[in-house]
Amino acid sequence: MALCFAVVILLVAALFAWFFHRHAKVTLRVASLQGHYHFLFPYEILGTALTRHIAALSAGGLAASLLVFMVIQRRIHCGVERLVNVFRLSVEGDLSTPTEPPGQPELTGLGRKIDAARSRTLSRIRAANDEAKLLLEEPLSEEEFARRWDALKHILQRIVP
């Protein structure tokens, strides 16, 4: 992120140098050819242009940096919004829709971890459901039924311990 800002600053500084140099070169040449030198310092020749160019540099650099910040913030916002929506879907029972968040790589990695956690939870819930169905459908002896009943409870207890 800081690299994006550094590139912007370098670019704006290069533009400043280019335009100020072009302007100053012409102004100094014209001044040297005037013949009557009524100035004591070079600042009297270049001061106005320098102030104007530095103001433009600061304003341009600030605007470009704010734009970069907004873009980064927007990317983070979109990615996090997707993650939040996935958690909301999960609350409603949807544990299989992939997260796939857009934006920053950090959010993509987090999305993969969230998917892994949801997938694991879903597999445990499915295992519990399969066990419940098996207990319902299979003709089991009392001992076997009691053993599997306890196993089912154990599976349920392992979900979000």
Partner 1 sequence: MKARRPRKAAGMTERGYAMRFSAMLLLVFSLGGVSLFLAFYVILTQPFPPTYSGVYFALRNLSAFLVPMLVFSMLAYALLLSVAVAILCGIAFHKIAGPLYRMERALENYESGESIRAVFLREGDQLVALADAYNCFLTRLREGRRDWLAVMEHAERLCLQDADTCRAERIDALVRLSAMLSRYR
Q: Which residues contact 60 (CB under 8 A, 6 or more apart)?
A: 12, 15
Determine the residue type at 155: I
- Say how far apart CA 23 and CA 20 lie, in whole Å: 5
125 binds partner 1 (CB under 8 A): yes
By CB under 8 A, what part of segment 93-112 binds partner 1?
A: 93-96, 106-107, 109-110
CB of 153 to partner 1, least distance (A): 6
| Cα–Cα distance list, 130 to 41, 63, 95, 155 (Å) | 90, 59, 17, 11
CB of 98 to partner 1, least distance (A): 13
154 binds partner 1 (CB under 8 A): no
By CB under 8 A, what part of segment 61-90 binds partner 1?
A: 61-62, 65-66, 69, 73, 76-77, 80-81, 83-84, 87-88, 90
- What does DSSP assign to residue 97? S
29 binds partner 1 (CB under 8 A): yes
